[in-house]
Structure 1
Amino acid sequence: MSEDALWPRAASLLEQAGAGHCDLGLFGVLASETSLSATGANATPAEIRVALARYSTYSSTQDKDLRELSFADYGDSETPDSPDGEIMTMDLAKKVSDNSRLSIALGGDNSITYAVMRGVFGDDLPSAGLITFDAHHDLRDGVSNGSPVRRLVEAGLPGTSIVQIGINDFSNSPQYASRAKELGIHVISRATLRNRTADSVMDETLSKLQDKKLHVDIDMDVCDRSFVPACPAAAPGGISADELRQFAFLVGKAKQVRSVDITEIDALADSADGRTIRLGALTILEIAGGFAARS
C-alpha cells in the first residue's frame, strides 16, 4: 500500500498494551474447534487487524479523528477451545476490561461470547445485560458456537436481561424459540427491523436494559450473505452492511456498553475482495466512532 502522511491508516491506532489505562482495548480469541460447522475463524483476528490499514482514522460524518482516542492491542487468547482455554480467555477479558473503558474481542466463532462476558463481569453477571445481533438464538445444548447464550443463563445471567436483535426466519427451531420465550428473552426479529430505524431499535433495547452494564455480541451472520460470504451460517435476507455499521456506531455510543465481541467470520472462506473481513474492520471503527461521540 502507498503511504501518505496526510492520510493516517486505522491500523496505526493499535499499539502494544502498556501499563496505562486506555479508551478501547482490543484482543483476539482464536476459537474454532467447537463450531457446529467447520471454520477457520481462528485466523480472523489477525486478518482484521491487517484490514484496518485499508481505512483511515477519520469519520467525516462526525468530523472526528479516532486518533483522539487511546487504543491498546492485548494480543490473543490462542487456545480457547477447552475448559482451561476458556479460563485463560476469561482472565484476558478481565485484564482488558480492567484497563480500558470499552473492550472489543475479535473472534473466533461465537462460542467466545460466554468466556468474554464471564471474564468482563465476573460475579456481577446476574446484574449485567446482554445484547446479541445474531440470526440465531444460540440456546443450543452442549458447548459450541450455538450455545453461549444458554451457558450464560445457566451461569446466572437472567433471561429477562437479554435482548436479541436480528433473529431470522428459518435459522432457528420451534424448540429454541420456545426456550427463548420461557427464559423471558426479548426478541426483535429480522422481519421487524425492515420497518424500524436503527436508532429506534437501540432506544427500545437500551430502555429495556437501562439499569444494566452491557455486553454486546455482534455475530456477523446477522447480515445478508452477500455482504458476509465468510460467515458459514449467514443466510440471504439478513441485514445490510450499512445497517450493521449503524448499529455498531450506536453500540459504541451507548454508555451502558462495557464490552463487545465480533464473531463468526471465517477468514479462510472470504471472497476474493475480502468483503467480510473488511466489514469486520469497519465494525471496529464504527464502534470506536460511537465511543468518541459519548457525551
Structure 2
Amino acid sequence: MNEHFLKQPEWSWNVPLNEKPTYVHHWVKPLSEHDQPFDFILYGAPISRSSISVSGASLYPTEFRRMWKSFATYNLDENVDLSFFHVGDAGDVMMHTTDILLSHQRIQRSTAFLAEHYPNTRTCMIGGDHSTTACAVRGIKEAFPEETIGVLQLDTHLDVRDPNELGPANGTPIRQLIDGRHVMGEHVINIGLHGYFNAKPLIDYANDHGIQMVTLNQARRQGLIKTIKRALDDLAKKVDRIYVTVDMDVLDISVAPGVPASTPGGMSAIELFESLLEIGKHSEVKHIDFVCLDPSKDSHVSETVKIGVYAWLQFITGSILKTK
C-alpha cells in the first residue's frame, strides 16, 4: 500500500544542527528527515466533527506539538535521557472539511500505510475525538490481516453506543470494532470506568460480548499498576499485538478542564503518568493513541495539554526502559 494522506503538520519546530537535543521540540524530527531505523512514529488525526458533544479536539495535534518546548528530553524521576531514542513525526492526516466518513477512511489508510511500511516500529496517534481509534485499529488490521488485535482502553466510558443510531461517532469506536469483527469483545479490557456515566444497556452489551470491565475503584483496591500489568499480560497471551487507547476523559474533572467529557472520580494526573510508564514497558504494546483533549476548553496555563504531553513522554520513557 503506497497511498496515504499524511501531510506536514500545521506546527513544527526547527531542529538545531550538530547539537544534542535537550528539549522535546529539538528532539522530534519530521519522518522524512530520519536516515536511521525508527524507534517510534507519531502522527495526528485532527478531527472532532464526529464528536457527539461539541469539541475542539481537532486542535490538539497542533497544541500538542507547540507544548514540546516546555519539556526537556531528560526524565529526572527515572534517570532516563530520551534523546537517543529516534522519534519521527509523520505529520497529520488530511481531513476533509465536511465529509466525516472520508476523513475516517483517510485515517484508516494512513495508519495502514505506517503499519505496513514500519512493521517493527511503535506508532502513536494523537487525536482527534475517540472515533479515530476505530479507524486506526481497522488500518492496523488491514496491514496485518492474519493477526489478532487486543485493546487496552483507559476510559470513563465503554464507547459501545450504537453507530446505527449515532453514526461513527466518538461514543461508538469499540462497538464498531466488535460488530465489524476487527476485534473480539473478550480481547478488550477497559480500566477507568466509574460512577454514573455508562447506561445499563451499554453495560449489557459489554457483558454480552465479553468486554472485561475494571472499574477505577477496583483497580485502586487491587493496585492500579498491578491491574494494568495484569491486563497487558492477559491480552498478550491471547492476541498478536496490543493497541492502547487513552481517552483523556479518564482523568478527574478537577485536573482536566480541557476534556469536555471528564467527570468527578476519575484518575489523577499521577495515576495516568504511572499507568503510561507501565504500559510503555510492555513489549506487546505496538500502538497507542491519545484522544478527546480539547485545548479550546483549557485554562490560560494549558494544564490539560501539559498533562497530555507528559503522559506521552511517560510512555516513551517506558519504551526505553523496556529496551534496557
User: Shorter-chain TM-score category?
Assistant: over 0.9
Corresponding position of 1:33? 49
Q: How far did residue 83 of structure 1 move?
A: 2.3
1:56 & 1:248 partners in 2: Cα distance? 18
Instruction: Verify: 1:87 aligned to 2:105, yes or no.
Output: yes
1:90 & 1:46 partners in 2: Cα distance? 20
The partner residue of 1:102 within 97, 101, 122 is 122
Instruction: Verify: 1:237 aligned to 2:251, yes or no.
Output: no
In structure 2, the gaps of 5 or more residues are 1-18
Tell me the SS of whatever aligns to 1:209.
helix
The partner residue of 2:196 within 163, 170, 173 is 170
Tell me the SS of whatever aligns to 2:189.
strand
Relative to structure 2, which stretch is displaced further, 15-24 or 207-216?
Answer: 15-24
2:226 & 2:280 partners in 1: Cα distance? 16
Structure 2 counterpart of 1:12, which letter? H
1:289 & 1:197 partners in 2: Cα distance? 21
Q: Deviations over 1:101-154 (max 9, x none)?
A: 110100111111001111123253861100100000000012200000000112
Matches within 5 A, 1:151-190: 151-156=176-181, 157-190=183-216
Tell me the SS of whatever aligns to 1:31.
coil
Tell me the percent identity: 26
2:87 & 2:23 partners in 1: Cα distance? 14
Tell me the SS of whatever aligns to 1:293.
helix
Higher relative contact order (CA closer than 8 Å, sequence separation 6+): 1
Instruction: Verify: 1:246 aligned to 2:274, yes or no.
Output: yes
Instruction: Verify: 1:129 aligned to 2:173, yes or no.
Output: no
Corresponding position of 1:269? 297
Corresponding position of 2:30? 16
Structure 2 counterpart of 1:187, which letter? M
Relative to structure 2, which stretch is displaced further, 49-58 or 59-68?
Answer: 59-68
1:164 & 1:6 partners in 2: Cα distance? 39
1:40 & 1:57 partners in 2: Cα distance? 28
Aligned-pair RMSD on alpha carbons?
Answer: 1.8
Q: What is the number of equivalent residue pairs in this alignment? A: 291
1:89 & 1:220 partners in 2: Cα distance? 20
CA contact (8 A) 1:52 1:282 kept: no
Q: Name the TM-score, length of structure 2 as normaliser.
A: 0.86
CA contact (8 A) 1:140 1:176 kept: yes
CA contact (8 A) 1:26 1:96 kept: no
2:186 & 2:171 partners in 1: Cα distance? 19
1:125 & 1:54 partners in 2: Cα distance? 42
Structure 2 counterpart of 1:168, which letter? H
1:172 & 1:104 partners in 2: Cα distance? 27
1:166 & 1:202 partners in 2: Cα distance? 11
Tell me the SS of whatever aligns to 1:104.
strand
Q: Deviations over 1:153-187 (max 9, x none)?
A: 12211001010000121111000011101000111
CA contact (8 A) 1:120 1:259 kept: no
Q: How far did residue 39 of structure 1 move?
A: 0.7
2:55 & 2:288 partners in 1: Cα distance? 21
Q: Name the TM-score, length of structure 1 as normaliser.
A: 0.94
1:248 & 1:276 partners in 2: Cα distance? 16
